[in-house]
Amino acid sequence: KQEVTQIPAALSVPEGENLVLNCSFTDSAIYNLQWFRQDPGKGLTSLLLIQSSQREQTSGRLNASLDKSSGRSTLYIAASQPGDSATYLCAVGFDSWGKLQFGAGTQVVVTP
């Protein structure tokens, strides 16, 4: 059974620092991996999607890497801003139909 773990559970940094969020999964036979952002009481915003054949994806200040063999993905957020404060969720895709298994999330607070 696939298990998805996110470390740390919570993270507080001063504005301007880089953020490093980790996600690990137990079964390397994944279809893809997505990183999402969730603001309190809100839905999910997709940040980056990495297909199983890819090693990384980048969008602006965000970069996500994927190492299937070791079962790890890392989300980097450069030069953090208070607006980056949110919960970040990692989700592993099982198949092309979109079924996902989520980690518990990392709650990020960026202080001005």
Partner 1 sequence: GAVVSQHPSRVICKSGTSVKIECRSLDFQATTMFWYRQFPKQSLMLMATSNEGSKATYEQGVEKDKFLINHASLTLSTLTVTSAHPEDSSFYICSASTETEAFFGQGTRLTVV
Residues at the contact surface with partner 1, assessed by CB under 8 A: 32, 34, 36, 41-44, 46, 49, 51, 89, 91, 93, 96-105
Q: Least distance (Å) from partner 1 to the CB of residue 100?
A: 6
Token pair listed for 16: 């301007």
Find out whether 29 and 9 touch, Cβ atoms under 8 Å. Answer: no
Residue closer to partner 1 (CB basis): 19 or 89: 89
Residue closer to partner 1 (CB basis): 15 or 39: 39
Find out whether 68 and 28 touch, Cβ atoms under 8 Å. Answer: yes
Residue closer to partner 1 (CB basis): 42 or 55: 42
- Which position has the token pair 């969720």? 89
Q: Least distance (Å) from partner 1 to the CB of residue 99?
A: 6
CA distance 7 to 100: 19
Find out whether 19 and 84 touch, Cβ atoms under 8 Å. Answer: yes
Q: Least distance (Å) from partner 1 to the CB of residue 75?
A: 16
Q: Least distance (Å) from partner 1 to the CB of residue 55?
A: 17
Q: What does the angle CA 62 – CA 108 – CA 63 come to, to the nearest 5 degrees?
A: 10
Residue closer to partner 1 (CB basis): 20 or 104: 104
